[in-house]
A and B are shown apart, each in its own frame.
Chain A
Amino acid sequence: MREFDLAVIGGGPAGMAAAISAREAGIENIVIFERDTRLGGILNQCIHNGFGLHTFKEELTGPEYAERYAVRVEELGIPYELGTMVLDISKDKTVTIISPSRGVETVKAKAIVLAMGCRERPRGALGIPGFRPQGVYTAGTAQKLVNCEGVIPGKEVVILGSGDIGLIMARRMTLEGAKVRAVVELMPYSSGLKRNIVQCLDDYGIPLMLSHTVVDIKGKEKLEGVYVAAVDEKNNPVPGTEEYFPCDTLLLSCGLIPENELSRSAGVALSPLTNGPYVDESLETDIEGVFACGNVLHVHDLVDFVSEEAVRAGRNAAEYIKGKPANPGEPVEVIPCNGVRYTVPSRLYTQSVTEGVHIRFRVTGVYKGASIVVKCGDDELFRRKGRIFVPSEMLDVVIKPEKLTGVTGRITVEIEEGAK
């Protein structure tokens, strides 16, 4: 049986960065398992620019960003196996893989970094009624067809959901000669980045219909059109507001779900708030030596933050492999409170903290002039005022290690509202 110090599951931005940082921390025997035919993951289909401003201080496209890491993987001589799908991970860190060249094989690893990314929420999960014709795609599937296969799914498009992939695809389809009739968003705010609303919708005169949804899909064989209606405060369609949009393509950009089927079968505890593993400040899951980073842990807004997180996961995995002693003491629970949907990590081993602790989270609504407050009981560990906090942005606060000295029990992360 092949044995590795570190097995990285997934060769996208998270997996590559984790492998690189583990190697740089001195781990030689690493393998990356990647199901696709090249490294890079979903970045390879994200041909638009906007990646890398934090990491490289320049604006790169997805493939360029991926290639920088892939080149580094090559330079460091980190082994990676393409066309390789992980079928199963067990608690004792044996990994079963399948590939055309090796068949089904079980390998053993001292540590594992989970970096499988996420998938898109499909139509069925959204419960949109109507027919099931050709022409309904998730935005990412359409993106792959257009950018990787050169296939343009249609000419008249409606996009449901204003997630970034949806916004990017609005522009992409427009550049390919399609007419994008509208981007329809259930919530009263967009779930995409503001810059994408400007440069993908406003630039091309594509209307963004907030607080609206698709209520019916017409066309039995091929999509003929959709009915769009306004929704009330409870997100229920308002009768009488239906408007018909003829279209041959409906793209869904309604959220991403961390892909944790392997984690679940390995017995990793998953958070219902993130759909990703519960981790501590070292990004270790509840199974010793199994770490998680990137979109499999929680859905990020920017790949730069994925890379940064993955570097930490890789480094911590390296520490573990090198025999770092077990975490001392009981963990401190991190509890999302007012206005905070989730936190990553969900627990901290305060006694082993030697550097600033990142707490990442998303807010539940739009907050203007509010403050992020991290507390332990009445003790404030952190406070930051912001002009505006929006759910589309992943927030990141760093708690200084000295603030955590002696902290036990639980700490809370909340939004203290300013004037609305």
Chain B
Amino acid sequence: MYDVLIIGAGASGCAIARELSRYELSVCVVDRESDVCEGTSKANSAIVHAGFDCVPGTLKAKLNVRGSEMMPELSKQLDFAFLNNGALVLCFDEAQIGGLEELAERGRKNGVKGVKVISGDEARAMEPALTDEVAAALYAPTSGIVCPFELTIALAENAFENGAEFRLGCNVTDIRKTDSGFTVLTDKGELEAKAVVNAAGVYADKLHAMVSTQPLKITPRRGEYMLLDKDAGGLVEHTIFQQPTKMGKGILVSPTVHGNLLLGPTAEDIDDKENTATTRGGLSEVRAKAGLSVKGIPFGKAITGFTGLRAVGDTHDFIIGECPDAKGFVDVAGIESPGLTSAPAIGEYVRDIVVGILSPAEKSSFKSERKGITHMAALSVEEKNEMIKKDPAYGTIVCRCEGITEGEIREAIYRPLGATTLDGVKRRTRAGMGRCQAGFCSPKTMALIAEKLGIGIGEVKKNGVYGSEVSVDA
């Protein structure tokens, strides 16, 4: 019997696990995928939103601003990439400048610091690649960018180190209320827990319906993206948004923390919770709309395209709280944008709810710091040579595009909650994320994974999608 079972190992689930691991609680995170960060958390804009476009008074507004405040310090504690690069929201029509003013006002009400409306020329002075059509812009200096994989993996690893258990490749099929809590049925057997946290992303409504009759509907909103080579990463410095519409924040153009250029997302509400395919129409929409904001985007430098599903709730706000008709069952649903930004704050918020239910004692042994995987490219020559002297594997470059060594890949595979798939290695080290998209490094990375798992190279999987045999039960 666990004290808390968290369903979903995305950014929210892992942040909650980390916060709960501060307490004398037995915590278990289950996910149907064989790795953490396999759903919405892995395919989004990677933005730490300043918090100016949430409606004041909403949970979104509160958690966005809190999450954004937490991120710089958290990135140091947990050793993940974060950059405060600022954002511009572009307005293309003089008549719409009032909308920017409204946004700025919202931002001030939400407690966002430094937001101001600037002219088109001022915006172009900050970002010379902006198109001539830009009439004005909202400048938000506190906006940032983050690596969503590193963030989620760091939260998970830190939770793990503090005692949280992870059952991956474990799909929840049903939940039953019992006298002492819940019996959670999975394809890998039954689990018992006093409290359950439903952080299942686009499937949060299905899980909710297993224990509650209260209506809750999650609509997957498909967003397609294009990622461009690092050659193109310097085109803009700030995250460039377009004035928001009903369907979301429009198409953004943003550098990533690793120096690529990200374009997207489209916004299309769909029924299929598994449909993460890109489409010809979607990708051409990304190209067309991104071109409205920024001149001279070298679309020929595209290295990949991907699709994420945002979990859109029917209340237009995050739906976080204990189910009135299922005490001990906490929904963390409708975590669409700014979900990634809010994740650390969602962790705190849900921690308080669970602590309210179970009244646990705080641990004295909690370790708030986590050391990430060595990043050779970021080290000084002396530091590199020290690493190579200790372990020559740090002198062998496997991924030539990103300059990732065998030592780094081994770390990713052998550390707790380590990678078991090519995508797992890619998200932890960036091996395979560069311009050749794993063409050169795959065979070697596969061999390293195979060696650890004791399987043939041909059995190594690219991804950890539900149904794969590889699992990393803690």
Contact = CB atoms under 8 A, between A and B. Distances in A.
B436 interface: yes
A127 B397 contact: no
A129 B462 contact: no
A87 B436 contact: no
A85 B406 CA distance: 13
A383 interface: no
A137 B422 CA distance: 13
A148 interface: yes
A45 to B, nearest CB: 10
Interface in A82-102: 83, 85, 87, 98-102
Given A104-B385, A124-B303, A217 B277 contact: yes
B350 interface: no
Contact of A141 (B301, B394, B440): B440
B308 to A, nearest CB: 12
A216 interface: yes
A145 interface: yes
A149 interface: yes
Contacts of B401: 261
A261 B401 CA distance: 9
A41 B280 CA distance: 36
A267 interface: no
- Name which of B277, B304, B439, B462 has the most chain A CB atoms within 10 A of its CB: B439
A338 to B, nearest CB: 24
Interface string A134-155: 1101101100110011011100
A370 to B, nearest CB: 29
Interface in B379-438: 381, 384-385, 388-389, 392-397, 400-401, 403, 405, 435-438
Given A119-B440, A120-B436, A152-B458, A103 B304 contact: no
B206 interface: no
A131 B277 contact: yes
Nearest to A145: B443
B460 to A, nearest CB: 9
Contacts of A98: 384, 388, 395, 397, 405
Contact of B437 (A124, A135, A151): A124
Interface stretch (B106-114, B121-129, B464-472): B464-472
A300 interface: no
B447 A103 contact: no
A376 interface: no
Contact of B439 (A102, A134, A141): A141
A145 B442 CA distance: 9
A50 interface: no
A131 B397 contact: no
Contact of B436 (A119, A151, A153, A215): A119
A225 B24 CA distance: 50
Contact of A100 (B274, B395, B403): B395
A368 interface: no
A125 B303 contact: yes
Given A85-B397, A141-B442, A129 B437 contact: no
A102 B384 CA distance: 11
Interface in B264-300: 274, 276-280, 282-283, 300
A151 B457 contact: yes
Contact of A122 (B389, B437, B457): B437
Nearest to B229: A125
A127 B284 CA distance: 10
B439 A119 contact: yes
Nearest to A116: B400
Contacts of A122: 303-304, 435-437, 439
B392 A100 contact: yes
A152 B381 CA distance: 40
A72 interface: no
B388 A104 contact: yes
B302 A103 contact: no
A145 B422 CA distance: 14
A124 B439 contact: no
Interface residues of A, number: 43
Nearest to A216: B277
Interface string A329-358: 000000000000000000000000000000
Nearest to A85: B397
B439 A140 contact: yes
Nearest to B386: A103
B463 A133 contact: yes
Interface string B66-83: 000000000000000000
Interface string A102-114: 1110000000000
A369 B247 CA distance: 57
Nearest to A98: B395
A181 interface: no
A130 interface: yes
Interface string A212-226: 000111001100000
Interface string B188-209: 0000000000000000000000
B305 interface: yes
Contacts of B305: 124, 127, 129
A123 interface: yes
Interface string A180-223: 00000000000000000000000000000000000111001100
Contact of A148 (B437, B443, B462): B443
Contacts of B226: 124
B17 interface: no
A48 interface: no
A360 interface: no
A130 B277 contact: yes
A138 B435 CA distance: 13
Contacts of A145: 442-443, 446, 457-458
Nearest to B384: A104
B433 to A, nearest CB: 11
A375 interface: no
Contact of B388 (A103, A119, A125, A217): A103
A135 B461 CA distance: 9
A132 interface: yes
B458 A134 contact: no
Contact of A221 (B388, B405, B436, B465): B465
B388 A123 contact: no
Contacts of B349: none
A171 interface: no
Nearest to B227: A124
B282 A129 contact: yes
Nearest to B405: A98
16 contacts: A99-B395, A119-B440, A123-B304, A124-B437, A125-B302, A129-B280, A133-B463, A134-B462, A137-B442, A141-B438, A148-B443, A149-B447, A149-B457, A151-B456, A215-B280, A221-B465
Nearest 5 CB-CB pairings of A with B: A124-B304, A100-B392, A100-B395, A122-B437, A221-B465
Interface of B: 226-227, 274, 276-280, 282-283, 300-306, 381, 384-385, 388-389, 392-397, 400-401, 403, 405, 435-440, 442-443, 446-447, 456-458, 461-463, 465-468
Given A87-B403, A103-B384, A145-B443, 12 more contacts: A98-B395, A100-B388, A103-B388, A120-B436, A125-B301, A127-B305, A129-B280, A129-B282, A134-B462, A134-B463, A141-B438, A149-B443
